[in-house]
Structure 1
Amino acid sequence: MKSLKEKVIRYILFVFGIVSIIITVNIFLILIKESALFFTHVSLVEFFTKKQWTPLLKPQHFGVLPLVCGTFLIVFFSSIISIPIGILSAIYLSEYSNKKVRKVVKPILEILAGIPSIVYGFFALNFLTPILQKLIPQTNIYNALSAAVAVGIMTIPTVLSLSEDSMQAVPKSLREGAYALGLTKFEVVFGVILPASISGIISSFILAISRAIGETMIVALAAGSTPKFTLNPLESIQTMTGFIVQVSQGDTAKGTIEAQTLFVVAMLLFIITLLMNVLSRYIANKFREEF
């Protein structure tokens, strides 16, 4: 009877695994099909090298660099916030705090990951932007910096949770051996614990960056909808996800080149996110420590 139950559970799990694979493959095929139609009208050279993106306006331009630039502008500034705060918080919770503090503080910080991104978007627009405008008067109402700060706050739990788990997985014997050699607490943390848990820590960085790349509502609300090739975070920009939101509102006729831009941008976003996840898996396997 027990063997029969295990077989049933195994088949159920297999079916769900196959369904998820089929869904992913279908999404990929749809993106490929529509992107191929797009590239019958627009050359790859124009798409990847031109600095003007106005597919919904006349004259039309299809250089995706402004969207890519806007996306990575958000990623860069959000990483400056999430990675240092996340890793330092993880070090404190793992190595310096007691168990009672860890049990209270870690769940509270992880709540940040459960807040809807649209709430972060309104927070950035109505709270962060006015502060930035007081500190830096030339800040636009819609700007990349306030959106990036909100994305950074949202991705802190990703870095913190995964990094702290990796540090906690380091055997106690390594810590005790380091202390027996006369190392200080600081030397143990940065000379033993961090190197031993580096694969999980780097993976947390990459996963946080991947989430920042795919973030939609924060950038749609706070960053604006001006596709601009700029490195100035105080200006209005548009990201790849922000453009997808704009086109998906239903005003664009199906089958037109304007509608196909949605799929080609989604395909580019799909590839970038996939590469980030593959890189995360590669790093995790390459630097994995077996204890």
Structure 2
Amino acid sequence: MNTTTLLIAILLFMAFAFFLGRGRSIAVSATNGGMRNLNSLPSYYGTLTALWCGIPSILIVLIWLLFDDYFIRQSVIQMLPQNVQNLSDLDLGLVMNTIGNVAESGNLGLSSEPHILAAAEKMNELKGISQMAISVIFGCVAAILIVFSWFRINPNLRARSKVETAFKIGLLLCASIAIFTTAGIVLSVLFESIKFFQSVPISEFLFGLEWSPQMAIRADQVGGSGAFGSLPLFAGTMLISAIAMILAVPAGLMAAIYLSEYAAPKVRMTVKPLLEILAGVPTVVYGFFAALTVAPFIRESGGMFGLDVSSESALAAGLVMGVMIIPFVSSLSDDVINAVPQSLRDGSFGLGATKSETIKQVIIPAALPGIVGGILLAVSRAIGETMIVVMAAGLAANLTANPLESVTTVTVQIVTLLVGDQEFNSPKTLSAFALGLLLFLITLALNYVALHVVKKYREQYE
């Protein structure tokens, strides 16, 4: 019985336990003065029975699946020749991958070595035994739990409180997923970054002016030892993001003000969906548009004024990225402005304020927290964009503030460093984690500053 079949079986057992528990509660109530003498409704007894049956069964299956592959792998390794067992972890991993491929596909042509074929056959045998064992264990445990639940049902059982407690714990675990995921991401990036800083001084990484993460091939190779100064990458990231926000924030905010305060209902119903279509266009399409249309136009326009414009420039990438993130600003700002109570507008008009004065002095301050949230979302989208930068701004790590030159961003370099077969013990690969950690800290600082700005204006408004 494979994993999918096991999950379906668990759901069927839980459904059977629900109806069994519900029927048992009704039968018990009939001999104890009717439904009014039950502590909870019959559906709660059925749900509690299903939980008693399902939760332990799911935990057993998850624990089994978590350790199943490890024990099968160790059993297969023990039957390999001694010289194979003594291989390095990397070489042994390659051997086990070959065994797994042969066992899964049944293609004996992948290897002709007898110990590989024998190990693949043994792996299939162990997997079959494992699936049979978990099926038997699950069936026995589920049956025992159903019988246990059957005898536990009585009129005094506080089924509702137990069910609500179980669902409350489940909701708490779901709410904690984001926290645990964030903690896991930070810790994984932090540990790999510490390994990187053991090879490269943190001062060189933070304040270095050259980025060339190529390791030496020859001892006399110029610059072959690698240069890991991150300033050019963050300068390029901030330059492109600034260009994008200079376009997106005014355009998006003005569009939101027009749609919410000035546009007729029919115009709003037509224009807003059309504007939000921009958010659904794939970024690779924006990249093609930037590389084939915007970048040549900027280069030709600059040539008419005697400017030296690179074929791949920060301006081209920033402009297209700004168009892409306009919906993030306009849509969220429009929703927040519409959420401002009409009484505030009426009060402003009653005091003699014009429509523009009401927007500037009342509506925008009231909606500022939401507007700042939309802008922060747009900034995060701009900082994390990769495809447009690759196609329109290039891969050159230039430390420059000139938007007409080619630059690159942190996310582009992270992707470049992790593409292909890489060793995760070299400074070149580990530098990607250090870049990710520093980008995370910068984004966290921006959020912290934005929260203080929102708090300041909110208190002023109140």
Matched, 1:37 2:195: yes
Alignment partner of 1:40: what SS? helix
**Range that drifts further, 246-255 or 227-236:** 246-255
**Greater relative contact order: 1 or 2 (C-alpha under 8 angstroms, separation 6 or more)?**
1
**1:271 is matched with which residue: 408, 429, 441?**
441
Q: CA separation in 2, counterparts of 1:252 and 1:56?
A: 13
Structure 2 letter corresponding to 1:271: L
Matched, 1:153 2:323: yes
Q: Kindly report which structure 2 residues correspond to 1:1-291, keeping only aligned pairs within 5 A, or say none.
A: 1=43, 9-56=167-214, 58-137=224-303, 138-288=308-458
Spell out, residue by residue over 1:61-89, the C-alpha distance to the aligned partner (whole angstroms, 9 max, x if none): 11100001000001110011001101100
**Range that drifts further, 98-107 or 12-21:** 12-21
Partner of residue 111, structure 2: none
Q: CA separation in 2, counterparts of 1:114 and 1:41?
A: 42
Check the 8 A contact 2:302/2:309 in 1, yes or no. Answer: yes
**Alpha carbons of 1:235 and 1:251: their partners in 2 closer, same or farther (altered >3 Å)?**
farther
Alignment partner of 2:226: what SS? coil
**Range that drifts further, 162-171 or 80-89:** 162-171
**Alpha carbons of 1:7 and 1:154: their partners in 2 closer, same or farther (altered >3 Å)?**
farther
Q: CA separation in 2, counterparts of 1:265 and 1:196?
A: 37
Alignment partner of 1:136: what SS? helix
State the Cα distance separating 1:286 from its structure 2 match.
4.5
**Range that drifts further, 116-125 or 250-259:** 250-259
Q: CA separation in 2, counterparts of 1:280 and 1:212?
A: 16
TM-score normalized by structure 2? Answer: 0.59
Partner of residue 93, structure 2: none
Q: CA separation in 2, counterparts of 1:6 and 1:117?
A: 44
Alignment partner of 2:227: what SS? coil
Structure 1 letter corresponding to 2:376: I
**Alpha carbons of 1:272 and 1:252: their partners in 2 closer, same or farther (altered >3 Å)?**
same
Q: CA separation in 2, counterparts of 1:146 and 1:252?
A: 32
TM-score normalized by structure 1? Answer: 0.92
Q: CA separation in 1, counterparts of 2:240 and 2:185?
A: 26
Alignment RMSD (CA, Å): 2.1
Check the 8 A contact 2:328/2:377 in 1, yes or no. Answer: yes
Spell out, residue by residue over 1:123-162, the C-alpha distance to the aligned partner (whole angstroms, 9 max, x if none): 1111111111121132222211111111111111111112
Spell out, residue by residue over 1:221-252, the C-alpha distance to the aligned partner (whole angstroms, 9 max, x if none): 21100001001111111100010111121153
Structure 2 letter corresponding to 1:45: S
How many residues in Structure 1 have an aligned counterpart in Structure 2? 291
Structure 2 letter corresponding to 1:219: V
* Unmatched runs of 5 consecutive residues or more in structure 2: 1-42, 45-159, 216-223
Structure 1 letter corresponding to 2:251: I
**Alpha carbons of 1:90 and 1:50: their partners in 2 closer, same or farther (altered >3 Å)?**
same
Check the 8 A contact 1:219/1:239 in 2, yes or no. Answer: yes
Structure 2 letter corresponding to 1:124: A
Structure with higher Rg: it is 2
State the Cα distance separating 1:12 from its structure 2 match.
3.6
State the Cα distance separating 1:257 from its structure 2 match.
0.8
**Range that drifts further, 11-20 or 195-204:** 11-20
State the identity %. 42
Structure 2 letter corresponding to 1:23: T
Structure 2 letter corresponding to 1:29: L
Q: CA separation in 2, counterparts of 1:232 and 1:134?
A: 17
Alignment partner of 1:255: what SS? coil
Structure 1 letter corresponding to 2:261: E
